[in-house]
């Protein structure tokens, strides 16, 4: 799902693709800067919807921008876009404590086997990736024939290198973690759910959280059943190309999407990529629901903000450092995590 596969001829012809290119991270081409010091090209962000500011204006003055309405006001308002029925935006839905909890779970428990990750294709199931990265361990290929890999202390890799075994540091693998799957496992090669694959149920606390937020988007008298989830991990320069989440049986049920970490730009298009998309900020703690007609809308993430000025996660970094030490805080400083929970059947 990373770096949208451009359909031939799609390059600049659709409104969605033009918006992706407009907001994507590009660097100034100046020879006096090294790669590490390259400056991002400035972009016009004036047209982005900012539901944080919209919420403040609504709470203070009861004012809403044209095309935006409030679906429900309880502890906090839920916003909708009038020409995108089935789309709901809940700014700041997750407390700082909840954000820290699910960031930690996303890095420590969610990538654990039998849950699958993008690393399975090359290395097979990898257990304890986060702890191994924290301890500076190295993954070494012990058995070339059966593709068996094992974590070793860094000092133990000298022997492995002498025997020409392949190896890769756990910290590199953690930074290259791009997705993990919870509950029913999604087969990316076939683009469907494979019920034959071993799996654990989605954690009860996450299920309950998803049910609570999904309630406003559910058909009358029905309760959301969390059966599968995909966790996306974004690093510097990563994007999520325009796509549809169309593998679930009943599109009247929402996808519950939770944002954690660095601020991002989210594009919500229409049923065709020719439809101009709405561009909006997604901050840590925001929750988005897409149900019904919104499930047929192309959407994607063309950019995350990892610089200190725009990431807007100072309080989150501080809380993570206090709760779990600097390793988690250092990771999230340049990362975004998105948990998408679905009712599969």
Q: Tell whether the model's pLDDT for residue 250 goes beyond 60.
A: yes
Lowest mean per-residue pLDDT among 130-139, 147-156, 208-217, 256-265 = 147-156
Q: How high is the pLDDT of residue 158?
A: 55
Strand duo 278-282 + 179-183: pairing: unpaired
- Which helix (H) or strand (E) segment holds residue 74: the answer is none
pLDDT in tens, 147-178: 889 999 976 655 555 556 889 999 999 999 99
Question: Where does the pLDDT of residue 34 fall: very low under 50, low under 70, confident under 90, or very high at 90 and above?
Answer: low
Q: What is the mean pLDDT of residues 68-78?
A: 86
Question: Where does the pLDDT of residue 322 fall: very low under 50, low under 70, confident under 90, or very high at 90 and above?
Answer: confident
- 24 in the Ramachandran plot: left (φ > 0), alpha (ψ -120 to 50) or beta? beta
> Would you state the structure tokens that stand for residue 296, as one six-digit string?
């047929």
3-state secondary structure of 321: helix
Outline where 129-203 has alpha helix (H).
Answer: 129-134, 157-162, 170-175
Q: Tell whether the model's pLDDT for residue 221 goes beyond 80.
A: yes
Strand duo 179-183 + 287-290: pairing: unpaired
Which is more confident, 306 or 75? 306
Lowest mean per-residue pLDDT among 110-114, 139-143, 237-241 = 139-143
Strand duo 77-81 + 138-143: pairing: unpaired
Question: Where does the pLDDT of residue 220 fall: very low under 50, low under 70, confident under 90, or very high at 90 and above?
Answer: very high
Which is more confident, 190 or 339? 339
Q: How high is the pLDDT of residue 324?
A: 75
Name the β-bridge partners of 144.
none
Q: Is 260 exposed, middle or buried (0-12, 13-18, 19+ CB in 10 A)?
A: buried
Q: Tell whether the model's pLDDT for residue 28 goes beyond 90.
A: no
Max CA-CA distance within the chain?
70
202 φ, ψ (degrees, to nearest 5): -60, 135
Residues in the chain: 345
User: Do the beta carbons of residue 132 and residue 326 sit within 8 Å?
Assistant: no
Q: What is the mean pLDDT of residues 288-292?
A: 97
3-state secondary structure of 345: coil
Give the Cα separation of 179 and 115 in Å (integer): 10
Q: How high is the pLDDT of residue 112?
A: 97
Averaged pLDDT score across all residues of the chain: 91
Strands (E) across 271-331 are located at 278-282, 287-290, 299-304
- Which helix (H) or strand (E) segment holds residue 52: the answer is helix 51-61
Query: Beta-carbon neighbour count of residue 152 at 10 Å?
Result: 19
* Cα distances (angstroms) measured from residue 101 to each of 97, 171, 284, 290, 320: 6, 21, 12, 24, 9
Q: How high is the pLDDT of residue 76?
A: 81
Q: How far is CA 37 from the centre of its chain?
A: 26
Pick the closest to residue 206 from 320, 329, 339 (CA basis).
339
């Amino acid at each position: 799902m990373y770096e949208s596969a451009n359909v031939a001829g799609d390059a600049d012809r659709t409104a969605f693709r033009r918006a992706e290119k407009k907001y994507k991270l590009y660097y100034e081409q100046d020879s006096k800067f090294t790669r590490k010091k390259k400056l991002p090209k400035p972009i016009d962000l004036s047209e982005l919807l900012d539901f944080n500011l919209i919420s403040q204006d609504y709470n203070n003055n009861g004012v809403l921008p044209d095309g935006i309405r409030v679906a429900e006001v309880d502890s906090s308002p839920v916003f909708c876009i009038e020409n995108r029925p089935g789309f709901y935006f809940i700014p700041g839905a997750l407390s700082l404590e909840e954000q820290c909890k699910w960031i930690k779970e996303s890095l420590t428990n969610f990538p654990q086997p039998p849950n699958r990750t993008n690393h399975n294709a090359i290395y097979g199931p990898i257990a304890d990736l986060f702890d191994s990265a924290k301890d500076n361990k190295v993954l070494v290929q012990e058995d070339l024939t059966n593709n068996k890999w094992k974590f070793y202390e860094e000092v133990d890799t000298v022997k492995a290198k002498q025997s020409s075994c392949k190896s890769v540091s756990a910290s590199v693998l953690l930074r290259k973690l791009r997705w993990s799957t919870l509950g029913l496992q999604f087969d990316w090669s076939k683009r469907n759910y494979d019920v034959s694959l071993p799996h654990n149920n989605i954690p009860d606390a996450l299920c309950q959280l998803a049910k609570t937020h999904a309630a406003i988007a559910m058909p009358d008298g029905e309760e959301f059943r969390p059966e599968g989830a995909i966790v996306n991990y974004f690093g510097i320069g990563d994007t999520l190309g325009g796509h549809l989440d169309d593998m679930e049986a009943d599109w009247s049920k929402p996808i519950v999407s939770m944002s954690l970490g660095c601020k991002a730009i989210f594009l919500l298009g229409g049923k065709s990529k020719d439809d101009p998309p709405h561009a909006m900020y997604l901050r840590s703690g925001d929750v988005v629901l897409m149900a019904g007609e919104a499930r047929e809308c192309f959407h994607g993430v063309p950019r995350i903000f990892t610089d200190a000025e725009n990431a807007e996660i100072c309080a989150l970094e501080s809380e993570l450092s206090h709760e779990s030490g600097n390793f988690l805080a250092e990771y999230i400083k340049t990362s975004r995590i998105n948990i998408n929970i679905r009712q599969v059947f």
